[in-house]
Amino acid sequence: MEKKMQICLGFKFAGIHCGLKKAEDALDLALILSQTPATAAATFTTNRFPAAPVIYGRRQLAAGESLRAVLINSGNANACTGSQGEIDVLSVAEFLGAALNIKAAEVFISSTGVIGEPLPVTKILKGIEKLVDGVKIPGDPVITFERAVRAIMTTDRFPKMVACQLETSQGRVTINGFAKGAGMIHPNMATMLAYLLTDAKIEKNTWQALLSRVVEHSFNRISVDGDMSTNDTVLALANGASGSFLTTAADLELLENALLQMTQELAYMMVKDGEGATKVVKVMVTGAPSPTAAEKICRAVANSSLVKTAFFGQDANWGRIIAAVGYAGVDLRPELVNIDFDQVRVVSGGVRDRDYREEMGAAVLRLPEFSVKIDLQSGEDEFLLLTSDLTHDYISINADYRS
C-alpha cells in the first residue's frame, strides 16, 4: 500500500447531496463511471427479502453484461418496497443510462438506508443531472473518489477506502476499494456495500471466482450483532484501462493476494467502526473436527450478547465463552477445550488453567484489540471471525435511530 492514494485509470467518480439525508452538507449519492465497459463480478446478501437493487443486480450479473456505471444512494434501502421498488430501480437506471449515453443494462444500482420506505425517485433523478454534469468537469481523481466514498456512508464514523498498485508481468495495475458499514454492524441502515475497482483486464469467470474466494475470507469473516441485511453487495469492476491483461497464474495470484489484503483491511475497518464499538476482537476456533463445527462455535461466541457485553466491560468472564461454545450445537469433549486470551492461557481441559489469575485476563481485555482462541483439540479444522463489543452506544444508536 502506498502513502499517496493512487486511483485506477479509466474510472471517474462523483459524490453529491441530493436530499436523501437531512443534513444539507451530507453527501448521499455517488457515481462510479468507467470510460470503457468493465468486466463485473459480484456477491450479494443471502437474505430472503433481497432489496430491489439486489434483485436487479443479480439479474444483470447473470446476464453477463459488462458495466459502465454504478449509482449508489445512502438514506434509503429500497428494500421491502415490492414491485414499485423494482420499477424505481429500472427508472433510475434508464435515466442515468440516457444521461450518460449508455445502455440502462450497463448501469448498476445500490441503495442503503431505511427499509420499507419508497425510494424518493425525483430527488435521485435531479441528483443524477448534477452528477453527470460533475463528471464532465476534470477534477482531482483523489478528491472526487473520496467524495464518492463519503456519499455512501450512513452511521459510519469514517470513510473506508484502500488503494494498491501491482507490478505485473503485463505492467503496472492499480486497485481501489471502498466500503461502508456492514450488514451486521449497521443493519438498519441495512447494508454492507463494497466496491473493488481495477484498471487491469481480467477474464470474466476468473474475476468472479477470484472475488468469491476473497469475499469468503474477508467480508464473510466479520460479525457484529448477527443481523444480516437485505442489501449487502460487493461489486468488483475490471475495466482494462491500464492495458494489462492478467492471465498468467503468477499475475492472478498477485492480484488475488492484493485483493484479499485490501478486502480484509476494509472488513477490519467495518468492525472497528461498528456501531458503538470500543473493541476489535479476533475470535479463532482451532482443532475442530470439521469446518462447519469450527464455524458454528466461532459464530456462537462472536454473536453472544453476553460475551460481547463482557468485552465492553473489560471483564475476563471466560464462563460466558464456555457457555456459548457449549450451546453452539457441536458435539465436543469439554475436557479437551483450551482457551487463550492473546498469549494468556485461561482455560485448560475445560476448567480454569491452574496458573491463570484474573488480572492476567483483565490486562488483555483492557487492550483495544485482542484475540480469543478456542482450541477444541479434536481435529484440524479452524474458523476465524472479527467481531466488536456490545455497548451502551450500540443501544443508543439503534434505539433512537429513526426518532
Q: Which lies closer to a second copy via its Cβ, residue 263 or residue 348?
A: 348
Q: Which lies closer to a second copy via its Cβ, residue 143 or residue 395?
A: 395
Q: Which lies closer to a second copy via its Cβ, residue 95 or residue 312?
A: 312
Within 211-355, strands assigned E span 222-223, 233-238, 280-288, 338-341, 344-348, 351-352
In the bound complex, what is the minimum distance in angstroms from residue 6's beta carbon to a second copy? 37
Contacts of residue 140, Cβ cutoff 8 Å, sequence gap at least 6: none
Q: Does 193 bind a second copy (CB under 8 A)?
A: no
Strand order in the sheet with 351-352: 222-223, 381-388, 280-288, 369-375, 338-341, 344-348, 351-352
Q: Does 48 bind a second copy (CB under 8 A)?
A: yes
Q: Which lies closer to a second copy via its Cβ, residue 5 or residue 114?
A: 114
Grid look-up 482443532 returns 287
Q: Does 225 bind a second copy (CB under 8 A)?
A: yes
Orientation of helix 305-312 relative to helix 291-303, angle to 10°:
60
Q: Which of 26, 114, 135, 367 binds a second copy (CB under 8 A)?
A: 114
Please list the active-site residues. Answer: 191
Q: Does 230 bind a second copy (CB under 8 A)?
A: yes
Residues 114, 377: Cα–Cα separation, whole Å: 44
Residues 29, 22: Cα–Cα separation, whole Å: 13
Q: Which stretch binds a second copy (CB under 8 A): 7-15, 100-108, 219-227, 280-288?
A: 219-227
Q: Which of 345, 352, 363, 367 binds a second copy (CB under 8 A)?
A: 352
Q: Does 281 bind a second copy (CB under 8 A)?
A: no
Question: Pattern 143-182, binding to a second copy, x per CB under 8 A?
Answer: ----------------------------------------
Q: Does 401 bind a second copy (CB under 8 A)?
A: yes
Q: Which lies closer to a second copy via its Cβ, residue 195 or residue 312?
A: 312
304-343 residues in contact with a second copy (CB under 8 A) are 304-306, 309-310, 312-313, 315, 317-320, 322-328, 330-332, 334-335
Evaluate whether 276 touches 310 at the Cβ level (below 8 Å). no
Q: Which of 37, 226, 289, 379 binds a second copy (CB under 8 A)?
A: 226
DSSP 230-269: S--EEEEEE--TT--B--SHHHHHHHHHHHHHHHHHHHHH
In the bound complex, what is the minimum distance in angstroms from residue 71's beta carbon to a second copy? 22
Residues 365, 376: Cα–Cα separation, whole Å: 22
In the bound complex, what is the minimum distance in angstroms from residue 49's beta carbon to a second copy? 4
Q: Which lies closer to a second copy via its Cβ, residue 150 or residue 320?
A: 320
Residues 234, 41: Cα–Cα separation, whole Å: 8
Evaluate whether 301 touches 324 at the Cβ level (below 8 Å). yes
Sign of CA dihedral 267, 268, 270, 271: positive
| Residue 187 DSSP symbol | T
Residues lying near a second copy in the complex (CB under 8 A): 46-50, 77, 79-82, 84, 114-116, 187-188, 190, 225-230, 304-306, 309-310, 312-313, 315, 317-320, 322-328, 330-332, 334-335, 347, 349-352, 390-392, 394-396, 398-403
